[in-house]
Amino acid sequence: MDEPASITTTPLAGEMTSAAGSGGPWADLHPPLSQDEALVEANRCYFCFDAPCLHACPTGIDIPGFIRRIATSNLKGAAVRILEENIFGGSCARVCPTEILCEQACVRGAQEERPVKIGLLQRHATDWLMDRQIQPFQRAPASGRRVAVVGAGPAGLACAHRLARRGHDVTVFETRAKPGGLNEYGIAAYKLVDDFAQREVAFLLALGGIRIEHGRTLGADLPLGALQRDFDAVFLGLGLAGVNALAFVPEGPPAGLRDAVGFIAELRQAPDPRQLVPGRRVIVIGGGNTAIDAAVQSRRLGAEDVTIAYRRGPADMGATRWEQDFARTEGVRILYHLTPLGLVTAGGAVAGVEFVRARPGTPEPAGERVTLPADRVLTAIGQRLDLPVLDITPRVAAGRIVVDANRETSLPGVFAGGDCVAGQDLTVRAVQDGKLAAEAIHRRLSGIRE
């Protein structure tokens, strides 16, 4: 649409733009290594004793151990070493910010060399195993115990898998039509291509002992007290279902305004994403990974002009510097120190956003106002825990379920993990929560004292 006369665009100091980068909206962000490339890369590893990269991994994967196995062409052994600690090793290899975790800690990087490509090596090994449909784990003898898991995201399924390995029977209750949680509904399509999220879930479920009931919602048709009564333990992997909204949006929001989480979910579930209209001029309000994903995805879908507007500086963004730089290479403009004041509308549709420039280092306004034109505005200003009305409720503080070191809530026998406990966090940490909770549940059900 034509730019309305009431919209003005003010050039801002520090604007960062670049030409559009990628291929199509489904192009793989990090293409896999070939066998030869993986061998060369694996042999760059020093196989450090007490390796810093291992300590930087939230799930404690033996990184030198699995890389050594790749170097000796033992890909099954490498994959098992990874999956022992992180059953979602395949997706974490694709979406984990390795640049601020294991690869940042790599000794080669500390010597002003390029770090070992740990993430790509992890993908190389886990893909080899999954492509061959090799199931490396077996269930322990049946314990006769039953555990309920609420939420089929990374935390819930990691918990379910570890419990099933221990011989317990697990029923997972999930509201949505597909399992996978964030991996299925909340990650940009270019990070998990070729339906990888569902293939990984199928691999996980092939162990046996895990049953998923879809269309079941805690607090609606699933009382927590009933779960406590009918199961020997309960794990809550609820995620953050609520999406924060702009304070100034009126009832009956204008056309062209939507939350970035919903946009990504729609894109990932669309039978033909090419039919989605991303908008011509897109503004994404926010500074986390969701903002980056929504902006890049909009650009790859054909939006002509995409801008991320963030109220603080680059160091304060939830998205890493790598993600910010990547967005620029895809043709996304990032503007810092802009706080949204209101929407400009025309004919019941979004026509732009009015911002006030913030003082560097704070979100406090400095007085100067800037209006940017847009026919699509995506909000990515955080998610929140929407705990339903329950018959019994675990303790909640600061919008999160409170747990102890074992991930047990204030309700005996009810455990929790993932974003509902930590806030918006990494997939790899949700997996670790599920794993640790499963081990604590197993100890309790087995009568093992800590």
| C-alpha count within 13 angstroms, C-beta hemisphere, residue 301 | 25
Looking at CATH, the fold of the domain delimited by 35-131 is given as Fumarate Reductase Iron-sulfur Protein; Chain B, domain 2 (1.10.1060)
| pLDDT by 10s per residue, the chain, length 450 | 333 333 333 333 333 333 334 445 667 888 999 999 999 999 999 999 999 999 999 999 999 999 999 999 999 999 999 999 999 999 999 999 999 999 999 999 877 789 999 999 999 999 999 999 999 999 999 999 999 999 999 999 999 999 999 999 999 999 999 999 999 999 998 999 999 999 999 999 999 999 999 999 999 999 999 999 999 999 999 999 999 999 888 788 899 999 999 999 999 999 887 778 889 999 999 999 999 999 999 999 999 999 999 999 999 999 999 999 999 999 999 999 999 999 999 999 999 999 999 877 766 777 789 999 999 999 999 999 999 899 999 999 999 999 999 999 999 999 999 999 999 889 999 999 999 999 999 999 998 876
| Residue where the block lists tokens 């898991």 | 149
CB count within 10 Å of CB 209 equals 19
Does the fold of domain 243-382 match that of domain 35-131? Answer: no
The predicted pLDDT at position 250 comes to 78
The predicted pLDDT at position 16 comes to 37
Asked if 283 and 379 touch (Cβ cutoff 8 Å), the reply is no
The predicted pLDDT at position 24 comes to 57
Question: Given this structure, which CATH class describes domain 243-382?
Answer: alpha beta
Where are the chain's structural domains? 35-131, 146-241+385-446, 243-382
pTM of the complete model: 0.91
Looking at CATH, the fold of the domain delimited by 146-241+385-446 is given as FAD/NAD(P)-binding domain (3.50.50)
The predicted pLDDT at position 109 comes to 87
Asked if 92 and 120 touch (Cβ cutoff 8 Å), the reply is no
